[in-house]
Amino acid sequence: MRHEVQVRLIKQLETHLDAGTNVDAGGLMLNPTRVYVDPELAEREWNEFFVHHPQIVGLSGDLAAPGSFMTIDDLGVPILTTRDNEGRFRAFVNACRHRGAVVENRERGDDATSFSCPFHNWTYSLEGTLIGLTKGDHFGDVDTSCRGLVELPAAERHGILWIHPDPAGTIDVDALLGDELSDEFESWNFDSLRYLGGDTYDVACNWKLAMDTFGETYHFPVLHSKSLNLTFHGNVQCYDTFGRNHRMLLCRREIDDMLKLPENEWRVTTAGLPAYWLFPNVQLLPSEFGAFLVRAYPTPGQTGRHVSRISFYVWPGTEAGSSAETAVRTISEMFASIIRDEDYVVAASQQRSANAGSLEHVLFGRNEPALHHYHSTYRAALGMPPLPLLDDHDVA
């Protein structure tokens, strides 16, 4: 983030802290609880936001060098992503062109020279080309040049990896991010982040409830009274939208001392924790040490269930502790103790009440603008009527 933007945001936090105020969405919003349980809506979301929408699947550091690969099984089609011999990010349908077996079954690796199908050992290059057809003299005279893995659209920009699960789909990164966010991401140098490790939470809540937990700091002094609230000021944040995406800036308590320093020494990652919400299902949180990437995926056929995939990254030169393994364990335990064991426990309880159908609506406050924006955004994307902004006294 450019330094002038950092200073502007930090001054906003300072103003809120001094005045005891927070961002104000300009009104309240009633959100129907059925959006968390409606199977017809879930199916539309699945088709519009996942199967037929570009997907962020990681950061450049996930595929550090030629031979690195990741498999993805959250989007209805088995996907294999690689860094090819020329360093290019590629994505393929992870299905063998012989009889469709999944070719690569490991979640990730960094030393592949090719991919061999476990069924009859047809072998594909990092570029997806069929380079080995077992017993070709017995099998038949197949034109191997036509039997490579089906390639999927893939794009890498600002250190972020996008794929499209549909071979005929397109990825327009400029349109997905917009100029302002593209410019901001350019200055973060996310491409230098090193992948450290990851975790998966399978939670009995709708994927949007998982996203909602990242949408305000109003709950910090209560739900996180013994965790995040010790290092963050709750009830204060900066908030900006970028088309369908947005950025919250959470406020660290370290801001109190940092504000005594000259402005040219101010750092947004000391004063706060930026949380980028990238439509439709991603949270990207860069910090002083690295970044967290959270991807939430619906569980098809179960509106009240989702999977969150968490990835941890560190900036180059960051001392990761005694070993990378220890660092991953420490970071993932810390993240799980807050997000999985506090936020997502509440999200699952919200899901239970939504399932019961006894509440027609839930209420988004003036101090929860990210929730207003997010729910308005996906509703607009699905052609659903907007949720009106209500005056305080209009909320029954």
Q: What does the binding site for ligand FES look like in residue numbers (CB under 6 A)?
A: 96, 98-99, 101, 117, 119-122
Give the nearer residue to ligand FES in terms of CB position, either 119 or 289. 119
Residue 119 CA: distances (Å) to CA of 1, 70, 327, 379, 389: 48, 20, 37, 44, 57
Taking CB within 5 to 8 Å according to partner kind, which of ligand FES, Fe ion, none is near residue 352?
Answer: none
Task: Return the range that interacts with Fe ion (CB under 5 A); candidates 14-22, 47-55, 300-308, 341-349.
Answer: 341-349
User: Taking phi first (over 0 means left), then psi (-120 to 50 degrees means alpha), and beta for anything else, what does residue 246 get?
Assistant: beta
Give the shortest CB-97-to-ligand FES separation in angstroms. Answer: 8
208: partner contacted, choices ligand FES, Fe ion, none (Cβ within 5-8 A by kind): none
**Which residue's CB is nearer to Fe ion, number 199 or number 343?**
343
Q: List the single partner that 199 binds among Fe ion, ligand FES, none, CB under 5 to 8 Å by kind.
A: none
CB of 132 to ligand FES, least distance (A): 10
Distance CA 66, CA 301 (A): 37
Span 83-142, contacts to Fe ion by CB under 5 A: none
* Residue number, 138 or 393, with CB nearest to ligand FES: 138
Q: Which does 133 bind (CB under 5 to 8 A by kind): ligand FES, Fe ion, none?
A: none
Q: What number of other Cβ atoms are within 10 A of residue 170's Cβ? A: 10
CB of 279 to Fe ion, least distance (A): 20
- The nearest distance, CB 343 to Fe ion, in angstroms, is 4
Residue closer to ligand FES (CB basis): 9 or 103: 103
Beta bridge partners of 233: 251
Residue placing its CB nearer to ligand FES in the complex, 1 or 96: 96
> If binding is defined by CB under 5 A, does position 343 make contact with Fe ion?
yes
Smallest distance from the beta carbon of 103 to ligand FES, in angstroms? 7
Q: Which residue's beta carbon is nearest to the bound Fe ion?
A: 343
- The CA–CA distances, whole Å, from 130 to 36, 114, 241, 323 equal 44, 10, 45, 38
Whole-angstrom Cα distance, residue 340 to residue 200? 10
Question: CB within 8 A of 146, min separation 6: which ones?
Answer: none
- Residue closer to Fe ion, measured from CB, 285 or 291: 285
Q: Which does 117 bind (CB under 5 to 8 A by kind): Fe ion, ligand FES, none?
A: ligand FES
H/E element, 83: strand 79-83
| Pair of tokens at residue 244 | 């369908």
Contact in structure between 304 and 355 (CB atoms under 8 Å): yes
Helix (H) or strand (E) holding 276: strand 272-278
Cβ distance to ligand FES smaller for residue 120 or 305: 120
349 binding partner (options ligand FES, Fe ion, none; Cβ < 5 to 8 Å by kind): none
Taking the alpha carbons of 49, 50, 54, 58 in that order, is the dihedral positive or negative? positive
Bond from prior residue into 153 cis (ω within 30 degrees of 0):
no
379 binds, among Fe ion, ligand FES, none (CB under 5 to 8 A by kind): none
Distances in whole angstroms, Cα of residue 106 to Cα of each of 49, 95, 99, 116, 294: 26, 14, 19, 12, 20
**Cβ distance 311 to 287 under 8 Å?**
no
Judged by beta carbon distances under 5 to 8 A according to partner kind, the member of Fe ion, ligand FES, none in contact with residue 16 is none
Residue closer to ligand FES by CB (options 44, 120) is 120
Closest CA to 150 of 170, 128, 165: 128
Q: Does 45 bind Fe ion (CB under 5 A)?
A: no
Asked if 212 interacts with Fe ion (CB under 5 A), we say no
Residue 343 binding: pick among Fe ion, ligand FES, none (C-beta 5-8 Å cut-off by kind): Fe ion
Tokens of 343: 């936020």
**CB 213 to Fe ion: min, Å:** 5
How far, in whole angstroms, is CA 351 from its chain's centroid? 21
Q: What angle do CA 390, 391, 392 make, to 5 degrees?
A: 115
Amino acid at 232: F
User: Helix (H, G, I), strand (E, B), or coil: what is residue 82?
Assistant: strand
**Minimum distance between the CB of residue 306 and Fe ion, rounded to whole angstroms?**
16
Given the complex with ligand FES, which of 114 and 332 has the nearer CB atom?
Answer: 114
Q: Which of residues 99 and 253 has its CB atom nearest to ligand FES in the complex?
A: 99
End-to-end CA distance of the chain: 42
Binding region for Fe ion (CB under 5 A) out of 29-37, 62-70, 288-296, 340-348: 340-348
Given the rule CB under 5 A, which residues bind Fe ion? 343
